[in-house]
Each structure stands twice: as structure tokens, then as C-alpha cells.
Chains A and B, each alone.
Chain A
Amino acid sequence: MNFNHTEERRMIGDALGSWLRNEYDLDARQRAMDEKAGFSHKAWRELGELGIIGALVSDTHGGFGGQGYDIALVFEELGRALSVEPWLASGLMASRILGECGDPGGLLSDVLSGETVVALAHGEPGSGYDPRWVETTATADGAGFRLNGSKAVALNADTATRLIVSARTSGAVDDAHGVTLFVVDAASPGVKVRGYATIDGLRAAEVELTDVSVEASALIGEKDGGLGAVENALAAATLAVCSESIGIMEVALEVTVEYLKTREQFGKPIGSFQALQHRMVDVATAIEQSRSLVIKAASVFEEEASTRDAALSAAKHYIGVAGRLVGEEAIQMHGGIGMAKATPINHYVKRLIMIDHLFGDTDYHLERYAALSR
């Protein structure tokens, strides 16, 4: 029994943590958000050079980490800094799908170095959180395919030069079988990308595909067998945002406790009031329990999918509830100043709450956990 990371992992975590502390305060984050891409290409490339993106992909797939504990460690640090760079879209999901599918186009090394941004366009307006629901179609067209459909809230798809698009080549709309993945040039005729900011500081896009022609070589992985790679990527992303939440919640706790110690009302620090003390203990307890479930999920991340997914659902469900408690209490205890955009805490809370809207919310994961553990 040992709850410390290995020396190698600690070095990665320290390198990332110190880079973020030196280069990426909330002002730097705002400047990154103000760039056209909604993030800092410079920061992205520097972190790529530091090897942080590569740490999210296994050595057999071109990186040098990629295990549950690697993802957990990196994303907890990113959470502390609220990094808006395309970690989930390109660094984690696209890179892992490319790695798993053999990267026929040779994109992966540029993704891992931060040179190229690739986004996953999988979810659809009608899919909710169900990964199997794919209405977009790919019909054979000579040697290639013709893609038609709509993709929804695809992270960083407005900046990505290439999109990994899932489309149905057979089966009913919610069949696990029959989903195929294609790498599509974002500038292809028929691809319409409508980018926007998200409320928590990221960028995403709606992607319309109208008779988009792709060559046979655009198909990655197996025809009809692409869903597994997507589900694996979503599993990694679920672990990532759970870990990111831990980093955010820790900051929210630190900042709020500090505020309770310094803010005075009725002639004394408000942290001396038992009504607030006990609620803060509830917040701290929820964070400890969340961390325990993330550790568990990371520890079984390499095991078979049902074990992995049950632990991920446990963590994601719990963090959906805990994140809301931590976030709402942080704002409430700050009082009026917690409502001001200039107060740092609000950026943390927005991201924390919105994480419940990614990769399945607290209800979705409770239901999935119940089904998997029955």
C-alpha cells in the first residue's frame, strides 16, 4: 500500500506544476482565451516540448506514459491552473484514438509536440451522453466515402486542422457495431464549423457535414469497429476531468478557507462562525472522498472495460455531486464578492460545475454504475 506517485511521475508533475505556476496565472489564462484560437499556441507548444502531452499516451502508441496515474497526475495540475489549452480534445482524446488506430496518416508526433491540433467530432445534437448514438452517415462513394450529419459541442473543433469524425457505416442509430472513424481535413468542402466560447473558458464548435468526400485512406481503425476507440478515449477523458476537478476543488478549498480567515464581519473573521466551519468540513470531506475515487479509477484504468468503467462512473457521479457542493459553497461563503467576475474563485467554480456536462453527468454515471455493478 503506497499512495505516492513514482519518482518518474513526480518529475512530470513537478515540471508541469512549476511551469504553470511561473507562466500561467489567471491573467495569462485570460490572454490565452483572448487569442483567436481561444488558447495559447505558444503555451501548447512549450508544454508539448516539455513532454507533457506525450505523458498522456502510452509508449506503444508513440507517447511515454498514458496510464491512469499519468492522466490523473497531469490533469490535477491542469485543474489547479485552469489551463484552457486543447488538452482533452487534442492532447488526450485525438492522440489516444490515433495511437489506438495505428495513426496511418502519421499525425501523432505533431499532435504530441503541440504543432498540430486535432479534435474529436463525435457527440451529436441528439446523442446526449450516449456514446453509441451516431446519426451521421458515411456512404460508400467510389473508393472513398461521403459523410453527412451534425456534430455537437466538439471541443476545439474550431481551431483543429483535422477532425476525427465518427459516422455510421452500418447498423441502427444506437448500435455499438457499425461506427467508423475518419480523419477529415477541416478545410474540406462541405465542412462547416461554427465555433464558440464555452462558459468555463474553453472553445467548442458545431460541425455540419454536407456531402463531405473523403478518400478510403481517411478511414482509421476498422470499418464498423470504431466505437471501441471512441469509448476508450472517452474513458480517458472522464478520468481526466475527474482529476482536473480534484485540482480545482483543492484550490477552491484553499482560497475559500483563506477568505474565511481574513474576511471580518460582526467584528471577527467569519471563519470563527460554527455555521461556516461545519459546512467547510463537509466541503473538505467531499474532496477527500472524491480524491479516493479518482485514485481508485486510476488504479483500475488498465483493467477490463467493465471494471474500468464502473470505477470511472463511481468517480464521475460522485464528483458531479461533490463539485457542485464545493463550487456553490465557495461562492456562497465569499458572499457578494463571489459573484464578481474579477474574483478568481468564479473561474474555478464555473469550470468545476461545467465538468458535470462533459462525458456524462452525475445522473448518467449513477445509472451506468448501477447497471455495471448489479
Chain B
Amino acid sequence: MDLSFTAQELEFRDEVRDYLRANLPRHLSEKNRKGLRLDKEDYEEWHDILRKKGWLAVSWPTEHGGPGWNVVQKYIFDVECGLANAPRVVPFGFNMLGPVLLKYGSEAQKNYYLPRILSGEDWWCQGYSEPGAGSDLAGLRTSAVRHDDHYVVNGQKTWTTLGQHANKIFCLVRTNPDVKKQEGISFMLLDMTDPGISVNPIVTIDGGAEINEVFIDNVEVPVADLVGEENKGWTYAKYLLTHERTGIANIGHATAQFESMKRIVNAQTRAGKPLLDDPYFAGRLAKLEIELEAMRITNLRMVAAAAETGAPGPESSILKVLGAKIRQEITDVARRAVGPYALPYIPEAFDLDFDDPVGPDDAAPIAASYFNFRKFSIFGGSDEIQKNIYAKMGLGL
């Protein structure tokens, strides 16, 4: 057994580290470190930087502009970006639609869409969930009816992350209502600039506005924008769920978040004594650190297995649950650390140049992050769905 990376992998890690140190703008890493909100320009700035280096579409093959990395390299890159508090790459085009087109798309679709994803010309969002189709995604009802060379699409999508910035949306739509629900779904590419599409923001529990409702009213979609075969969309959607899952626990971001929380904790006193002198609080922190370290090794074991067999197993479901849990727990400990100063809610405090804080440094976004992070155990397949998957695929129940 050997838990360390090879010399070659360490060299790669250092290359990534050096690159991030030299090229990750401080105003972006500071926003992430403090849990502030990123706007469209922030994401685009980071995409531009990575694009220049060729590190933007990391799961794509080299002929389409990807870096051609193996599983371990992709994992290292994910972790290092997280540790450096880099913004995440908005995944919908690069890590979701891209891989689906590469596997199931027509040559014309690949040639047209992949370069536009890479260049940033198209900003994609994901049209999966509907008001009546959450965990029961296959129950979706948005319909696409074929007329000659196009489909007419009608329905509503919801929880559409960053949909307000997107000009394109990939959707699961119902093309056959008369068969088993999974067998009547198709995967289609829609243009958000179509007058039949309207986007309505959903303000979230923390006061943020990153998710949306998308209404689709008589939108005509050329048959050329159907991905793969009609009624096979469920297969493509499931492929996405098993693709590139080794980074699913966000171990790098979780570790950076833990370190930020620890800095906050270390600065706190209670009745004149360091907060960490309170054995109960020290115990909370220790438990979290132990769980995080366990998750790091569990993740490494999965990466090593995926490197051997080529594909991650159902353990990715376990890691999704663990990753969500630990990130939620970190915000829970952080809000306890600042005590009553978790309460003040000052909208301006979410701007990086806000210089009139109430209470300890960095306290302002903590409670909002706690509430925002409830999303981790809900999106991308809720904890309950992940457990269903592992009970079946991992335990054979």
C-alpha cells in the first residue's frame, strides 16, 4: 500500500499549484474563501484564464481541446483548484453536455457545439427538474411533439442553476407519453433566446439568486438538435450521472472550507479564553477533521480503483452523500464559532469591497452559507436517491 502520489503525479500537482498561484486572481479566491457570491463576469474571467492554459474542458479528449488527463490528474486538478479557493468551472457545458455530445452526439453537433462551449460563446444550463419531477425525474412532463423537421416543446423546468446567464439549455423532454416513463424521454438542445422561453429567478433561503424557473412555450426545436435517438434520453441522462464522479465529494473545496472555518475558530474567544479551550467545541472540530480525513482517503481509494478499472463504481453515491454532509457540517460549526454574530444579515457584506463589518472578520456570510449549503444534499440526486442507488448497486438489496 502506498497513499502517496507518484513522483510524476506530484510533479503534475506542483505544476497545477504553481499555475494557480500565478494565475488565480485574488479577488476571485477571496470571494470563494469568504463564501461571497460570484457573478457572471467572475465565472467568465476564470474560464478565460483556464481556456488560455488549455485546462477548461478537463474531461474532453485533446482533439476537442481538452488536456487529455487521466483519472488521477483530473482528481488532482479538482483538489488543487478547491484548495486554492478557485471558482468552480460552471459544469453544464464543459462537464455535462460536452461528455454527452462526445459519446452520443452527431458529428454535426460535436463540430458545432463543442467549440462554442469551449469558447464561451454558449453558456449552457440544465433542464432536468420540473415542478412535478424532482427525485422522480423520469416522471417529467415537458412535451416535445414532432412536426416534420422540428419538435414543438411545451412545459416548465425548475431549479435551473445559473440559468439567468445561459443562452442555451439542454432538456429532458417527453416524446412518448404512452410507454414506460423512462422509455419515452428524449435529450434536446434548446435556444434560450427563443421568445417562447422565459426565465424567472427563485430567491433562495439565504437570499441568493442562483436558481430559476424556465418556462417553455411552443418552442420549435429542429430535429438536428435532438441528441442521439428519440426516446433514449434517459440512457444519456444516466450516463451523465456515472461520468466523472471521482470529484463528486469536492474534497478540495471541503478542505479549503475547513481551513477557513478553522481560522475563524482560532480567532474566537469566549469569556476571555480561546474558543478551542472549550473541550466540547474542540471535540466538534476534531470530529469534523477526522471525518474529512476519512473521506479524503475513501476518495483516493475510489480514484485508485477507477484508475485500475476505468470507471468509478457505485461508491460515488456514498461519496456524494459524505461530501454534502461534511460541507454542511463545516458551516454548522462555523456559525456556532461566531456565536451571536451569526445573526446580522447585511446584504452589502456579500460584496468583496465591503469594509464596514459587524462583528468578527468573515462572519457576515456564515449563516447564509449554512442555509445555502442545505442544497448539497438535495441537488444532483438527493441523499435519498444516492442511498437508493447504493442499496441496489452496492449492496444488492
Whether the Cβ atoms of A293 and B283 lie closer than 8 Å is: no
A2 within 8 A of B: yes
A1 within 8 A of B: yes
Distance to closest chain B CB from A296 (angstroms): 5
* CB-CB contacts below 8 Å: B280-339 with A: 282-283, 285-287, 289-291, 293-298, 300-301, 303-305, 307, 315, 318, 321-322
Contact with B along A95-127 (1 / 0, CB 8 A): 000000000000000000000000000000000
Whether the Cβ atoms of B286 and A278 lie closer than 8 Å is: no
Q: Which of B5, B291, B318 contacts A281, CB < 8 Å?
A: B318
Whether the Cβ atoms of B391 and A277 lie closer than 8 Å is: yes
Whether the Cβ atoms of B301 and A292 lie closer than 8 Å is: yes
Check A285/B282 contact, CB under 8 A, given A4-B1, A298-B1.
Answer: no
Whether the Cβ atoms of A374 and B318 lie closer than 8 Å is: no
* CB-CB contacts below 8 Å: A56-89 with B: 69
Looking at chain A's contact residues, the main secondary structure is helix
Q: Which residues of A contact B11 (CB under 8 A)?
A: none
Whether the Cβ atoms of B2 and A1 lie closer than 8 Å is: yes
Q: Which of B2, B286, B295, B321 contacts A2, CB < 8 Å?
A: B2
Whether the Cβ atoms of A295 and B279 lie closer than 8 Å is: no
Q: Which residues of A contact B287 (CB under 8 A)?
A: 317, 366
Contact with A along B19-33 (1 / 0, CB 8 A): 000000000000000
Rounded to whole angstroms, the CA-CA distance of A299 and B290 in the bound complex is: 16
Q: Which of B279, B286, B300 contacts A1, CB < 8 Å?
A: B300
Check A289/B395 contact, CB under 8 A, given A2-B2, A284-B390.
Answer: no
Q: Which of A5, A284, A366, A370 contacts B395, CB < 8 Å?
A: A284
The 6 closest A-B pairs by CB, nearest first: A292-B297, A277-B391, A370-B286, A289-B294, A271-B397, A370-B282
The chain B residue with its CB closest to the CB of A260 is B397
Check A288/B298 contact, CB under 8 A, given A4-B1, A281-B318, A370-B279.
Answer: yes
Whether the Cβ atoms of A278 and B283 lie closer than 8 Å is: no
Distance to closest chain B CB from A250 (angstroms): 13
Rounded to whole angstroms, the CA-CA distance of A288 and B317 in the bound complex is: 12
Check A296/B297 contact, CB under 8 A, given A1-B5, A288-B318.
Answer: yes
* CB-CB contacts below 8 Å: B1-41 with A: 1-6, 9
Rounded to whole angstroms, the CA-CA distance of A314 and B296 in the bound complex is: 13
A274 within 8 A of B: yes
Whether the Cβ atoms of A285 and B1 lie closer than 8 Å is: no
Whether the Cβ atoms of B391 and A3 lie closer than 8 Å is: no
A348 within 8 A of B: no
Q: Which of A5, A6, A285, A318 contacts B322, CB < 8 Å?
A: A285
The chain A residue with its CB closest to the CB of B301 is A3
Check A257/B1 contact, CB under 8 A, given A2-B304, A284-B318, A314-B290.
Answer: no
Check A374/B282 contact, CB under 8 A, given A278-B387, A289-B294, A289-B322.
Answer: yes
Check A289/B1 contact, CB under 8 A, given A1-B300, A317-B290.
Answer: no
A272 within 8 A of B: yes
Distance to closest chain B CB from A361 (angstroms): 13
Rounded to whole angstroms, the CA-CA distance of A299 and B4 in the bound complex is: 10
Rounded to whole angstroms, the CA-CA distance of A366 and B396 in the bound complex is: 34
Interface size range on B against A: 35 or more
Whether the Cβ atoms of B384 and A257 lie closer than 8 Å is: no
Rounded to whole angstroms, the CA-CA distance of A314 and B294 in the bound complex is: 9
A261 within 8 A of B: yes
A280 within 8 A of B: yes
Whether the Cβ atoms of B301 and A281 lie closer than 8 Å is: no
Q: Which residues of A contact B290 (CB under 8 A)?
A: 293, 314, 317-318, 369
Q: Which residues of B contact A318 (CB under 8 A)?
A: 290-291, 294
Whether the Cβ atoms of B289 and A373 lie closer than 8 Å is: yes
Q: Which residues of A contact B298 (CB under 8 A)?
A: 288-289, 291-292
Whether the Cβ atoms of A3 and B395 lie closer than 8 Å is: no
Q: Which residues of B contact A282 (CB under 8 A)?
A: 387
Query: Most chain-B CB neighbours within 10 Å: which of A271, A288, A298?
Result: A288
Query: Most chain-A CB neighbours within 10 Å: which of B5, B72, B305, B394?
Result: B394
A367 within 8 A of B: yes
- A sample of 23 inter-chain contacts (CB < 8 A) reads A1-B303, A2-B1, A2-B304, A3-B304, A261-B397, A271-B397, A272-B397, A277-B387, A277-B397, A280-B397, A282-B387, A288-B301, A289-B295, A292-B294, A292-B301, A293-B293, A293-B294, A299-B1, A314-B289, A317-B290, A370-B283, A370-B285, A373-B289
Distance to closest chain B CB from A236 (angstroms): 17
Whether the Cβ atoms of A1 and B6 lie closer than 8 Å is: yes
Q: Which residues of A contact B387 (CB under 8 A)?
A: 277-278, 281-282
With contacts A292-B301, A314-B293 known, what are 20 further pairs, Cβ within 8 A?
A1-B2, A1-B5, A260-B397, A277-B388, A277-B397, A281-B321, A284-B390, A284-B395, A290-B294, A292-B296, A292-B298, A293-B293, A296-B293, A296-B294, A299-B1, A366-B287, A367-B283, A369-B290, A370-B283, A373-B286
Q: Which residues of A contact B293 (CB under 8 A)?
A: 292-293, 296, 314
